[in-house]
Amino acid sequence: MGICKVMIIENFIDPYLRKEFGALGAKILSSGNQVMLSLGYPARGLRDSLQADIQEFLNASELSLDLRFDSSSLKKSGPLGSVILVASGKGGVGKSTIAANIALALKEEGAVVGLLDADIYGPSQGILLGRSGSPKPLVGRDKGIEPVLFEGLRVMSMSYLSNAATPMVWRGPMASSAVQQILTQTSWGRLDYLIVDMPPGTGDIQLTISQQVQSAGAVIVTTPQDIALLDAKKAIEMFRKVSVPILGIVENMSEHVCEKCGHKSYPFSSGGASRLQEEMSVPVLGALPLDLSIRESVDNGIPSLVADAESDISKRYREIARYSAARVWEEKVDSPLITIDD
């Protein structure tokens, strides 16, 4: 009966990828009413809903699901894990805020996560995570730079290494070299995922990271506005030219809901991500509203997932993070070219 149950569960459709567990290579074991399911992405928060859905799928009277994250199913860059680039074609679309919350959500779901702020000219992760005034990162025993810890995240940003009031007046090659040094000289430890908050646009730093780190894929952040969509298309094309898979699109500021009457308005237009999905053949990972709480969390240096873990905004971030990680599993891309010693 256990083997029969496993074969049936192999036909269950993954909630994000819309493919059968068996086709995706999920590991399934069964004994009595106990089922162990290992997915290639962290999904701790899905355990209860998956248990109920699989129980119904099996038409079983009782089921206990042991849901696990099988990071071994992903090709990794040694201890760096799977590298996810969070990028945008232009600034001001909320990319850094989304990168921070994706990293926090993946950690919350059961992964070991690092967050690299690769925006040398305008680093913001220190402010977003409320640590811009922290002491400078220490040099560890291995002579590497120790990342700053925030809620279990391992974070490195230029905002920790420089004076916030001093601009980085560097030419492209110098800035690209600085990013490479921060990436390789930080003592990340062993990670499941490294989330890279990319600079906006398609310049030297983006090309350097894309070419030197064969990442697991890129998440493109945009708003529904036509000019933002145009730049998002350019970012997608750039990543495709350097063989970086596009994991999907996140549409930020998709709508505004009035707190008093619940009326929905669309200050930056609507349907932009859907049009981009159709034109560029990339999935929409999720949408986030124009919401006062997001602005407040940024100003206070407390990300939404920490400020109010049960809010609608936090739930949306979790969905985006799980879907992004599921797409990494689906892509099963080659490991990044660089290696970092333990």
Query: Do the beta carbons of residue 94 and residue 288 sit within 8 Å?
Result: yes
- Cα–Cα distance between 76 and 17 in angstroms, integer? 21
Closest residue by Cα to residue 284 from 253, 250, 329, 234: 250
- In terms of C-beta density within 10 A (0-12 exposed, 13-18 middle, 19 or more buried), how is residue 168 classed? middle
Are both 2-73 and 78-331 of the same fold? no
Per-residue pLDDT tens for 295-335? 888 888 899 999 999 999 999 999 999 999 999 999 873 34
pLDDT at residue number 75: 66
What is the pLDDT of the chain when averaged over all its residues? 88
Which H or E element spans position 294? helix 292-300
Query: Do the beta carbons of residue 87 and residue 206 sit within 8 Å?
Result: yes
Per-residue pLDDT tens for 188-224? 999 999 999 999 988 888 888 888 787 899 999 999 9
Query: Do the beta carbons of residue 123 and residue 158 sit within 8 Å?
Result: yes
- CA 171 to each of CA 162, 204, 207, 252: distance values in angstroms, whole numbers, following the listed order: 17, 9, 14, 31
Side chain identity at residue 35, one-letter code = V
Longest dimension (CA), the chain: 67
Terminal alpha carbon distance of the chain? 44
Q: Is the pLDDT of residue 163 over 70?
A: no
Report H helices in 140-225. Answer: 172-185, 204-212
Per-residue pLDDT tens for 88-115? 998 889 999 999 999 999 999 999 999 9
- Cα–Cα distance between 59 and 33 in angstroms, integer? 12
Closest residue by Cα to residue 215 from 334, 77, 40, 83: 83
Pick the CATH number of 2-73 from 1.10.287, 3.30.300, 1.20.1440, 3.40.50: 3.30.300
Q: What angle do CA 70, 251, 291 make, to 5 degrees?
A: 105
Rg (CA), the chain: 20
What are the residue ranges spanned by the domains of the chain? Answer: 2-73, 78-331
- CA 215 to each of CA 83, 207, 267: distance values in angstroms, whole numbers, following the listed order: 5, 12, 34
Side chain identity at residue 159, one-letter code = S
pLDDT at residue number 51: 97
Query: Do the beta carbons of residue 37 and residue 22 sit within 8 Å?
Result: no
Q: Is the pLDDT of residue 342 over 70?
A: no
Q: Which long-range contacts (CB under 8 A, 24 or more apart) does 166-172 make?
A: 167/121, 168/120, 168/121, 170/120, 170/121, 172/203, 172/204, 172/205
What confidence tier does 46 reach under pLDDT thresholds 50, 70, 90? very high
Question: Residue 62: how many CB atoms within 10 A of its CB?
Answer: 8
The fold for domain 78-331 equals Rossmann fold (3.40.50)
SS3 259: coil
Q: Is the pLDDT of residue 68 over 90?
A: yes
What angle, rounded to 10 degrees, do the helices at 312-331 and 95-108 form?
80
Enter the pTM of the model.
0.90
Give the DSSP letter string of 96-111: HHHHHHHHHHHHHTT-
